[in-house]
Chain A
Amino acid sequence: MWDLFVSLFINVLLWIYDVIGHNFGIAIILFTILIRIVTWPLNAQQMKGAAAMQNLQNDKEWQAIQKKYAKDREKLAQEQMRIYRERGISPFASCLPTLIQFPIIIALYQSIIRALASTPLDLLKLSRSIYPALNVSDLIPLNSKFLWMNLGQPEGIPLPFDISFLPYGFPLLAIIVAITTYIQAKLTMPASTNPNDQSAAMSKMMSVYMPLMLGYFALTFASGLSVYFITSNVLGIVQYAMQGKANWRNLLPGGQKK
């Protein structure tokens, strides 16, 4: 089942690659846009769910039950569920789209690695993943060069000196991945006036950990994945901005407090 999913990704990627004249970097960017369009309703739902949860944190009734049942967790949970029901809020609505991103990232990573086929066995497996509608002999091997990168390998700009912890050189793409992830996380972080707001605290933590984690992935894995991360982040920022949800003040020092 998973293989079929990855094969679908590979074939769509290769179809785009074929149509646009054999540029795999552009194919990844267009494929990311396609994924963003397909998952647009999910992302919109995530934003809506996050906003509803955020509003709830500042709601007087919500704050009142937090105080009233602070020592009775079971009762507190029952009351929270009642409020969720009454206001039509799903506490998991903001998590689901994020969870869906993970299998997409993993499938995309596998499809990039398999499509670029850096080993003979990869090439053999690739030949068996391609649908008959695509002319395999014309496509293989894929052109893995994009700008200064080899998309099948971690990215780095050569330095005139050796640094053991930077085996590929200066990791420009990893830095861009970390910055765009940080910007996206900050822009989507809603303002909160409640000092006990746990979801705001969680968002703050995520805005630190996610850029570090994705930056580390970009540093370690094939640069094709970094192209996906950056495109996806930029599109996410654009989507938030288009929907008027982007909180630009968060990017400024102390912006959260205003």
Chain B
Amino acid sequence: MRKKLILAVMVLLAAVLLSACGGPVRGTTWAGLAADDSTAYLADGPYVYAVNVKDGKELWHYPENVDSKLIFYSTPVITPDGLVIVGSAGNDHSLIALNPTDVNPETNAPVEAWRFSAATDHWVATPLVVGNKLFAPNSDGNLYVLDLQDGQSTKKAVETIELGGRLWAQPTTDGERIFVTSLDPSVSAVDVETYEVLWHEELNGAIPGSAVLGADGMLYVGSLASQLEKFDPATGKHEPVLEAENWIWSTPSLDGDTLYFGDLDGNFYSFNTSTGKSNWPPVKPDGPITASPLIQTDHLLVATESGSLFAINRDGGVLWSEEIGGKIYTTPVAAGDLILVAPLETEFYLAALDQNGRQVWTFAPGN
């Protein structure tokens, strides 16, 4: 009888422990970060946090309590009418719109404006707002088109466009077409009005970042084939224009006619779209680069996996560097005069720095 009891307890314990492993926890991947001048929105594991940019204090968090079906790390998107839309990588695969102006004072959680639950896989990509439409790519390979003005609290897709592969990056638009990258690996162009797939081109390596429209009107994409690829947005005709040393993970950042991006060997590149050549040999900060550079008035900010933030001028010279701590994979964001950084493996979730890299405040829930 005693053995039966011990065995039953062991089985129960194993089940409980392994179930706990499957619950939403912070750190399964890096956080998604977006901000306007007054509020930062951080999607970091079981919660989405709204943080006051002025003092780093929490304004609200969602959901009220941990929900085993919800986990957040896709970068939230703020719609023109003020809703915060964020996708869940939890098991219910929901895309949720929160109303930050309607926060329950008892729970300190915002009210859900609507929810879309028809996707069949995780939300990693940030959706794109074009007019009244939301173009939302999901890991199930579909690009879902939602009507933001239909007034429905349970959204249904206006159109579901099957593109294939896993869609992890925010789409890009030139006003006429939506460009979607996929891990499968391919790039597709979809007509913004008719939702027709205009072209679908395969590359040699998966594409975790977004496409960027250059000043020359061409589309640029970095890939895990360690190449920067140039596309004709009208036809999809493409060619590699730069061979990197390792995978290009991030979305290149456009500044005038120059694209800035890093690779997983820790090289930082400056590619001139007018000349088709690099402006200078790659600069090497102190670690692999997965985040996109943040363009500032007189310099560029580059975050590394080693937990540092580098200010690099447009000639490739390092102006300053600051050790933030942990590992930085999330693209830094500007909010007013501050720079927001969301490292992984640190006690704080978010840090605000001034223009010289000095820490102004840090945010951790409960502080």
Contact = CB atoms under 8 A, between A and B. Distances in A.
Interface of A: 118-124, 127, 136-137, 140-141, 150, 153-154, 167-168, 198, 201-202, 205-206, 209, 212-213, 216-217, 220-221
Interface of B: 3-4, 7-8, 11, 14-15, 18-19, 22, 28-30, 69, 73, 89, 91-92, 121-122, 124, 139, 165-166, 168, 183-184, 204-206, 208, 224-226, 247, 249, 264, 290, 329, 344
Contact of A120 (B18, B22, B124): B124
A217 B224 contact: no
Judged by DSSP, the binding face of A is helix
B7 A119 contact: no
Given A137-B224, A150-B121, A221-B22, A118 B7 contact: no
Contacts of B224: 127, 136-137, 140
B22 A141 contact: no
A87 to B, nearest CB: 24
A137 B290 CA distance: 17
B29 A119 contact: yes
B226 to A, nearest CB: 8
B264 A127 contact: yes
Contact of A167 (B11, B92, B225, B249): B92
A137 B203 CA distance: 10
A209 B8 contact: yes
11 contacts: A118-B122, A119-B122, A119-B124, A120-B124, A121-B344, A124-B249, A124-B264, A137-B206, A137-B224, A141-B166, A141-B206
Contacts of B29: 119-122
B124 A167 contact: no
A206 B8 CA distance: 10
A118 B139 contact: yes
A209 B11 contact: yes
Contact of B208 (A123, A205, A209, A217): A123
5 pairs of A and B residues whose beta carbons are closest in the complex: A119-B29, A121-B29, A137-B205, A141-B183, A137-B225
B73 A119 contact: yes
A118 to B, nearest CB: 6
B8 A220 contact: no
Contact of A213 (B15, B89, B183, B226): B15
Contacts of A141: 165-166, 183-184, 206
B89 to A, nearest CB: 7
B329 A120 contact: yes
A69 B166 CA distance: 67
Contact of B19 (A118, A167, A220): A220
B336 to A, nearest CB: 28
A167 B205 CA distance: 34
Given A122-B29, A141-B165, A212-B11, A127 B247 contact: yes
B142 to A, nearest CB: 14
A122 to B, nearest CB: 7
Nearest to A137: B205
Contacts of A201: 3
B290 A124 contact: yes
A119 B89 contact: yes
Contacts of B344: 121
A39 B146 CA distance: 53
A126 to B, nearest CB: 11
Nearest to A212: B11
Given A120-B168, A121-B29, A141-B206, A220 B18 contact: yes
Contacts of B11: 209, 212-213
A206 B73 CA distance: 41
A167 B18 contact: no
B280 to A, nearest CB: 27
